[in-house]
Amino acid sequence: MNKTKERPTSQPITVNIDKLSAMLSCGHATARKIGEQAGAKIVIGRRVLYSVEKVKNYLSYLEE
């Protein structure tokens, strides 16, 4: 299987768990928990992605 290539995008629509945890500055378990609570989890086959927009909205909601 070929490795997924990094594509330069200024604002990605979805990210994997590595990038989500980097965006949130937390560990994988915490990032996964936040992503699931936000309803941002997207499963395509074996691949799991998280919607950046839903995570941002969820964090804004918690902030209020």
**Domain residue spans in the chain?**
14-63
Global confidence as pTM:
0.84
- HEC letters along 6-63: CCCCCCCCEECHHHHHHHHCCCHHHHHHHHHHCCCEEEECCEEEEEHHHHHHHHHHHH
Q: What pLDDT, in 10s, does the model give residues 25-61?
A: 999 999 999 999 999 999 999 999 999 999 999 999 9
Q: Does pLDDT of 4 surpass 90?
A: no
Q: Residue 14 in contact with residue 51, Cβ under 8 Å?
A: yes
